[in-house]
Amino acid sequence: MTGNSLPPVKLTDSGRPVLLPNEIECFFLSGVDLLCEDEPNTWFPHLKSGLLILTTHRLLWIPEATVSASTSASSVPLASISHIFPHKKSLKSVFASPRVRFQVSPSPERGVASAGSRSVVVTVVVRGKGDCDAFVSKFWENWRARAWEESEKATSSSSNVAAVAGSSSSGIYSSDGTVRMVGVSGILRKEQEMWESTDKSLQDAFQDLNALMSKAKEMVMLAEKMRLKLLSGSSSQTNTTNDEEMGSKEEMQELLLSVGIISPVTKESAGALYHQQLSRQLADFVKVPLDRAGGIINLIDIYCLFNRARGTELISPDDLLQACSLWEKFDVPIVLRKFDSGVMVIQNKSHSDEEVFTKIKVLVMKPDALRSGISPSDAAMTLGVAPAMAKEHLLSAESKGILCRDVSPDGFRFYINLFSEIDRDDMHL
C-alpha cells in the first residue's frame, strides 16, 4: 500500500469534523468499513471500523478507536465519485452486512477529484446499526444535487467582485463616469450602501416563514461576516470609541453569535448516534460562553443558548442532560458538575475550587466584610459570575469550614469562620 492519498479531515477537540463553508451533515453510520476492490497497492487504503458521515460535499470517515487523531480521519469528496452502483437486495444480503458500492476517480493534485484517468471501486460495509436504505437514498440525493458546485461558484464570484473592485479603485472616476467618493465620505457611503443592502435582505427574509427558511443559510453567513467585522473593528479602534459604543458592539456580537448553528445534529440525520454526536457538538459550542462566564456556567443558561443557536431544531432538557453525561467517555476539557444543593453546572476541567476559595477568603477578610459579612451579590462581583452561581460557591466554602453564614430577613450573609481557630483546651467559662 502506497499510503493514504485521501484528503484528511480536521477534527475539533471533541472529535467533531470541521465542516467546509455551506457544508451540512446529512447522515451518520457507525461501524463502517471503506474497502477498495482493486489491488492492495492502490492509492485508496482499507479503512476499517469507523464513523461514516455523509454531508452535502463529502463522505467523512472517522476512526472509532482513536477519535482525536485528526491525521487518520479521511474524506471522499462527492465531486470525485463518478458512479454509484444500485443497491441490490438478494437472499444472501439478508444474512450479510449491508454494502454500498461506488466508483472514485483520483487526481495527483488534490488526492481525489472529479476528473481522473484511473478509477477504483469502493465498497461501504455497514457492520453497525443504521438504516442503510435511507443512507443510500440520501447518498444519491446529495450526489445529484452537487451542492459543492454552488459553493465554488459563490467563492469565484466573490473573488471576481473583489478583483473588479481592486482594478477600478484607481482614479477619481468610476466605471460609469461618475465622480467616485473618496476619503472619509467614500468610506461612509460604502458603509451606508452595505447596511442598506443588509436591511433589504433582512426585510425580504422576514416577509413570511417560507422566505425566512429559504434565506436562513444566507442570514447565518451574513451574521458571521458582521460579527467578524465587529471583532476586527473593536480591536483596531479601541482608542477612538467610547464605553457606550463598545457596549453596543459587544451586545451586537452576542446577538450575531447566537443566530444559528449551520449544521445542527438531529435525530433524523444521526439516528442511533444522536446523543453521541450531540454531546460532541455541545462540547464545541460551550467553549465561548464558558470562557466568557469565567470557566463555569449554569446548565439552564447553556440550554437556552444552545437551543437559540439551533433555531428550529430544538432539543429537550433530557437530551441535553444525556449529552452532558456522555462527556465522561470522551476526552473533552469540560465536565458536568452537580452541587450539593442540586444545581447543575458546566465547568472547565482546569477550573479550581481552591482558587475560588482563595478569592472568597480575601473578600471576607476585608474590614467591611468582617463587620457586616458578604452577600452572594458581593461575591458575584468579585468572582465575575452570576449571583446564583456565587451563592453555590459560598455554600461550598461553608461546607469546607471556610465560612459560616447568618440567615436573616435580609437574606444570607457569610462571614469568615473563626470557630476553627478556637482552642478547646484554652477555653475558660
Question: How is 32-79 classified by DSSP, letter by letter?
Answer: EEEEE-S-TTSSS--EEEEEEEEESSEEEEEESS-TT-GGG-EEEEGG
Number of H helices, E strands in the chain: 16, 14
Is there a contact between 278 and 314 (Cβ–Cβ < 8 Å)?
no
Distances (CA, A) of 47 to 32, 122, 235, 342: 8, 10, 45, 45
**Residue 319 pLDDT grade (very low, low, confident, very high; cuts 50, 70, 90):** very high
Between CA 327 and CA 45 the distance in angstroms is: 31
Same fold, 267-348 and 353-421: yes
- Confidence at residue 270, expressed as pLDDT on a 0 to 100 scale: 86
Which range (311-315, 334-338, 374-378, 396-400) has the least confidence?
311-315
Mean pLDDT of 80-84: 87
Tell which wins on pLDDT, 361 or 207. 361
Pick from 81-95, 164-178, 214-228 the range whose average pLDDT is largest: 81-95
Give the three-class secondary structure for 335.
strand
Listed by start position, the domains of the chain span 25-106+119-148, 267-348, 353-421
pTM above 0.85, yes or no: no
Please give the pLDDT value at position 192: 78
Q: Rounded to an integer, what distance in angstroms lies between the CA atom of residue 12 and that of residue 18?
A: 7
Of the candidates 277, 268, 271, 278, the one whose C-alpha atom is nearest the C-alpha of residue 302 is 278
Residue matched to cell numbers 463616469: 177
Q: May I ask the CATH class of domain 353-421?
A: mainly alpha
Among 139-148, 245-254, 329-338, the minimum mean pLDDT is found in 245-254
pLDDT at 278: 92
* Higher-pLDDT residue of 244, 390: 390
Look at residue 69 and tell me whether its pLDDT is greater than 50: no
- Under CATH, which architecture does the 267-348 domain have? Orthogonal Bundle (1.10)
Assigned CATH class of 25-106+119-148: mainly beta
Tell me the three state secondary structure of residue 323: helix
Q: So what's the pLDDT on residue 53?
A: 92
CA angle 387, 333, 355 (to 5 degrees): 45
